[in-house]
Structures are given as C-alpha cells and as structure tokens.
C-alpha cells in the first residue's frame, strides 16, 4: 500500500469504494487517494473449472451470492463503515453482460441508499489506474499493455482519468484465452495461466519454435489463434506417432512465443509514440516470463516498465476504486442512476455518464 502524500493530506482525500464483477471474480476495493485500504475478492473459478471456461450464468449467480459478504469484508478490513464512503465506483464494461449487471445494480443501490455519487468506469482503464496504488502517479503519457483472458490491448494513456487511445488489440483469441486452451491440450487445470507458467519453469523454451502471429506486420495488433492451433497440431502429431508429449517443454515454448510477441509489440508502441514508460496489467501480467522479457526488452531501449504485484494484475475491486479516486480528484461529473452495463464498452469511454 502506497501513500504519496503526507498523512494529514491523505486523511482529507475522498474514500472510494470500488465494485468489480466483469467476469468470474467479485472484487471490492476501498482506497483513499492512492492508498489501498482493502481489496476483498470472492472467486467463482472453481465452479467454472469443470467446464474448462467461464459460464456466464454461473458467474452471475456467484456474484449475487458474494456481493454483500465481500463488501462487508472489505469494510471490516479497511476499518470503515458504509456511511464513511464518499463515492461508489463500479465496472460498467466491458465484460459479461449478466455479471456486469449484478455489479452495476449493486452499486446503484448503495449509491442511492447512501446518497453518494456513482461512477461507472471502464474495466480496461481501471487495469491501468491500479498501478498507482503501488508505484504512485502514472507518467503522462505512458503506454499500457493489457493482457488477460478477454483482452490483449495496447493503449496510449495521456491521462487515465480523461483520455485513453487504442493502439492495437487482438484480432482473434486474447493471450489469456490461448493459455486456457493450450493448458487443456496439455492436461493442465483451468485457468491455464498459472499452471503453464509453473510447468514452463522446468522446460526448454527453445525445444520447438512455435509461430509468432503478426510479429512484424506493421501493426500493433495481436493474433494468438494460429499459435494455439500450431500447438494443437504439434501435440496431435506426437500422439499419432506414439511419442510422449513433453509438457514442460511445450509449455515453455508456447509461453515464449506469447511473451515474445507481447513484448515486441509493446516496445514498438513506446518507440513509435515517443513514450519512455510502459505499464503492463491484466491477469497475464502476473506471468513470470512476460515480466522477465519485458524488463530485458525495455532496458535495451531505455524504457521504464511498471508492473503491479500479481494480486493487483488480476480482476479486483481495488483497480475500480483507484480509477474512481482519480475521477473524483479530477472533478469528473458522476454517472447517472440510470447507468447501463455495456458489455462491449470501448476503451475510449473511461466514464459512462
């Protein structure tokens, strides 16, 4: 937890409660300024594991059950009461429609009951804002690489509370989605990111060179569907020949291909836009190889890399509260109580009116 101002100033800053329900984790965070007071999470990932992916209806029901207990746990951890809260922030999109609706409806209820301002924020912008809770104010501008199960995006961020510009995105599978599918091929559990990362530590990343989609195509977009298919075909060929599949080696080679492309494009985005700070966020940002390659690549080009600790990379309420705090500080007009949930909310819309 990081406070960037003196104790007296911090105590005077608004207390913001953030609610995150875009996918399979019910997150509630409480911040004061850039000081994180609580980050409570209730995950439904085990309920989805037997399906090999997130089931929207299951996620929505889990959010309904977890919302009140998670809020109560966050308040207890922060040592505050609901009436102490100065503003409510909630993920309004993008995400699973039903899951978003649970969070947005809950936030509206609390804002109305407490007579507090409501801020419906963009999930992706929140992944950028959360880094301030650990490393202080964001450089203006910076480039953000966001990688998760649903998103692989490159963003130019002049001001996270006012302007975010898309530079590139995946044209098919997101990086995290590819991890889940390859993990299934290798007989590893869902979600695929952590088990592939663990297996890869015992493997040889050079055992086989898998393709790097759109590596030097002149764009800042990504493509991981071809990589996923290449891994599947390679495994099929081994099994057809009656040969064992070296799981650690395949995991390492796959992970190397993903991280190589992500870092290459991220560095390119910084150089093309004259930016010397790169922020990496989203669940895949917790990946050890991505972090290592990002540091190596950035050092060669004089770029500074900021990556939040793993717990702040995955979906959480702290990131929503962090963005809400930025919006309050900037004097942004709060959202209306008829705020919608927008499953395809574009990154250019940081705050819904």
| Bridge partner list, 15 | 32
Looking at the fold, whether 187 and 301 belong to one and the same domain comes out as yes
The answer to whether residues 352 and 335 touch, using CB atoms and an 8 Å cutoff, is yes
How far apart CA 299 and CA 102 sit, in angstroms, is: 43
Q: What is the pLDDT, as a whole number, of residue 122?
A: 97
10 Å CB burial of residue 218 (0-12, 13-18, 19+) is exposed
Q: How many domains does the chain have?
A: 2
**β-pairing verdict for 87-93 and 15-20:** parallel
Looking at the fold, whether 160 and 274 belong to one and the same domain comes out as yes
Looking at the fold, whether 149 and 112 belong to one and the same domain comes out as no
How far apart CA 317 and CA 63 sit, in angstroms, is: 13
Looking at the fold, whether 178 and 260 belong to one and the same domain comes out as yes
> Terminus-to-terminus CA distance in the chain, angstroms?
30
Looking at the fold, whether 183 and 234 belong to one and the same domain comes out as yes
Q: What is the pLDDT, as a whole number, of residue 9?
A: 56
Q: Residue 214: give the domain boundaries.
A: 139-311
**146 inside domain:** yes
What's the CATH number where 271 sits? 3.30.420.40
How far apart CA 162 and CA 159 sit, in angstroms, is: 5
Looking at the fold, whether 157 and 59 belong to one and the same domain comes out as no
Q: What is the pLDDT, as a whole number, of residue 10?
A: 63
Q: What is the pLDDT, as a whole number, of residue 148?
A: 87
Over its length of 353 residues, how does the chain's per-residue pLDDT go in tens digits?
333 333 435 667 999 999 999 998 999 999 999 999 999 999 877 777 777 778 888 989 999 999 999 999 999 999 999 999 999 999 999 999 999 999 999 999 999 999 999 999 999 999 999 999 999 999 999 999 999 878 899 999 999 999 999 999 999 999 999 999 999 999 999 899 999 999 999 999 999 999 999 999 999 999 999 999 999 999 999 999 999 999 999 999 999 999 999 999 999 999 999 999 999 999 899 999 999 999 998 889 999 999 999 999 999 999 999 999 999 999 999 999 999 999 999 999 999 99
**252 inside domain:** yes
Q: E-strand spans in the chain? A: 15-20, 25-32, 35-43, 87-93, 118-122, 142-147, 152-159, 163-169, 277-281, 304-306, 351-352
Q: Is the peptide bond before 131 cis (omega within 30 degrees of 0)?
A: no
**2 inside domain:** no
Q: What is the pLDDT, as a whole number, of residue 177?
A: 92
Pick from 193, 181, 282: which is nearest to 235 by CA? 181
How far apart CA 99 and CA 91 sit, in angstroms, is: 10
Looking at the fold, whether 28 and 169 belong to one and the same domain comes out as no
**1 inside domain:** no
Q: What is the pLDDT, as a whole number, of residue 3?
A: 38
């Amino acid at each position: 937890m990081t406070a960037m101002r003196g104790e007296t100033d911090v105590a005077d800053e608004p207390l913001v409660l953030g609610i995150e329900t875009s996918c399979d984790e019910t997150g509630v965070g409480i911040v004061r300024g850039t000081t994180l007071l609580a980050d409570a999470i209730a995950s439904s990932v085990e309920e989805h594991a037997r399906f090999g992916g997130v089931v929207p209806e299951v996620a929505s029901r889990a959010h309904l059950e977890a919302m009140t207990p998670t809020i109560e746990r966050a308040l207890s951890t922060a040592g505050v009461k609901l009436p102490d809260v100065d503003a409510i922030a909630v993920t309004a999109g993008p995400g699973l429609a039903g899951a978003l609706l649970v969070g947005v409806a809950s936030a509206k209820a609390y804002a109305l009951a407490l007579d507090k301002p409501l801020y419906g924020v963009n999930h992706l912008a929140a992944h950028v804002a959360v880094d301030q809770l650990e490393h202080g104010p964001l450089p203006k501008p910076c480039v953000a690489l966001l990688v998760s199960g649903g998103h692989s995006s490159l963003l130019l961020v002049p001001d996270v509370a006012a302007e975010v510009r898309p530079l590139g995105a995946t044209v098919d599978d997101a990086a995290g989605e590819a991890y889940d599918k390859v993990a299934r091929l290798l007989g590893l559990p869902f979600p695929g990111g952590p088990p592939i990362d663990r297996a890869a530590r015992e493997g040889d990343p050079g055992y086989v060179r898998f393709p790097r989609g759109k590596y030097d195509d002149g764009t800042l977009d990504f493509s991981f569907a071809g990589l996923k298919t290449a891994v599947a075909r390679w495994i099929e060929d081994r099994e057809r020949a009656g040969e064992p599949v070296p799981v650690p080696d395949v995991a390492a080679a796959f992970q190397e291909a993903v991280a190589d492309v992500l870092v290459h494009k991220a560095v390119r985005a910084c150089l093309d836009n004259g930016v010397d700070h790169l922020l990496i966020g989203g669940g895949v940002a917790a990946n050890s190889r991505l972090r290592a390659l990002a540091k190596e690549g950035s050092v060669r080009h004089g770029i500074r890399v900021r990556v939040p600790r793993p717990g702040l990379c995955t979906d959480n309420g702290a990131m929503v509260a962090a963005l809400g705090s930025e919006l309050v500080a900037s004097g942004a007009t709060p959202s209306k109580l008829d705020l919608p949930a927008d499953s395809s909310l574009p990154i250019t819309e940081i705050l819904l009116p």
